[in-house]
Amino acid sequence: MVCSVASVKRVLLSAEEGILQPAGEGLWPLARASYSGRSEPLPSPVPTTLAGALSLLARRTLPISHPTAVAFLDESGAIASDRFFTVGCLKLAEPSILLRQIEKWRDRHHWYREIHVVDLTLKTLPLYKEVVDIVAAADCEFSCFVADRQVADPVARFGTPWKAYERLAAQLLHGSIRPKEIVTVLADNYSTPDGVVFEQDLRAAVNGRLHRLAIASVVRLDSKAATPLQIVDLLTSTVTFEFRQQAGLAGKRSPKAKLARHVRTRYGVKTCIGGVRVTKMNVACYTGGQGATIVIAPPAETDQ
């Protein structure tokens, strides 16, 4: 079947812009907005047959093996008032594998409430250590950004607690996403004023810095609904605890202290103070724009 150049162009352009999707125009306008203003021209010469057009379209479509992941985002501390505030990220290519392991752990111990540091006692410490063992052995990457507000205050720099949280989260995700990887972000609920669109702003910030679609969607959830959010909260809290210890704000014999030591042991690091970078864990300290970076191992994508 021979087609005119104009008709083939319409096929290619409409397919790229999502017009051929059954849902039609008007669906997800904010997500679709990035397709306006195409970054690359149509090939020359333009195919003149429908088969040629479809072949070209197939080559311009992501393969089924394209790298994807889910990033779970949570924080430790109150950024508006606490000295230490940490944003943590647990990234998994296949979350269902870890979720099944945690569900088996819940069934063994009949633990069906949240995995939360407020329930950590000497009696429950062995159970929490088991969770850490499962996560440390799993195929996932944990990273976090620690801010000591007496050293560098992100709230003072960015003006409001929610803008500071957004900027720290954006830097954390920017450094945690691998080249070509497309990530869905599930973040713990964080209270913001009306008119603050954390999800859209976070996605736009990271995609803008990487000059591509790196984050497909950002969704905020109650941590009760997502076990991985509880896990990243646990890891983030234990990392922050060591910083509080060094500042003389926490002891060394409490259940939290023992769990924090266990986390460092299982990830093979002596200390997180000053930052640390190993294959499955990356901790960076916020320095107010003076060069602190989050980069996973091997190196993640950088600005072009």
Residue-wise pLDDT tens digits, 247-257:
999 888 999 99
55 with 202: CB under 8 angstroms?
A: no
Among candidate residues 296, 239, 249, the one with its CA nearest the CA of residue 272:
239
Residue 97 near residue 259, CB atoms below 8 Å: no
Distance CA 275, CA 147 (A): 11
Task: Convert the pLDDT of each residue in 92-135 to its tens digit.
Answer: 999 999 999 999 999 999 999 999 988 899 999 999 999 999 99
- Asked whether residue 8 carries a pLDDT value surpassing 60, the answer given is no
Q: How far apart are CA 51 and CA 153, in angstroms?
A: 58
Q: What is the pTM of this model?
A: 0.78
d(CA 149, CA 85): 8
The secondary structure element, H or E, covering residue 145 is strand 140-148
The pLDDT confidence band at residue 190, using thresholds 50, 70 and 90, is confident
Distance of alpha carbon 50 from alpha carbon 47, whole angstroms = 8
Residues 258 and 252: beta-carbon distance below 8 Å: no
The residues that bridge with 62 in the sheet, in sequence order, are none
Domains of the chain: 5-59 (no CATH), 68-285 (3.30.420.10)
- The pLDDT, as a whole number, for residue 53 is 66
Separation of alpha carbons 68 and 83, rounded Å = 35
Pick from 18-27, 38-47, 237-246 the range whose average pLDDT is largest.
237-246
Q: How far is CA 248 from CA 84, 240, 241, 242, 244, in A?
A: 12, 13, 10, 10, 6
Residues forming beta bridges with residue 75, ordered by sequence position: 87
- The tens digit of pLDDT for each residue in 261-277 reads 999 999 999 999 999 99
Q: Give the residue carrying structure tokens 């087609």.
A: 3
Is residue 56 within 8 Å of residue 47, measured between CB atoms?
Answer: yes
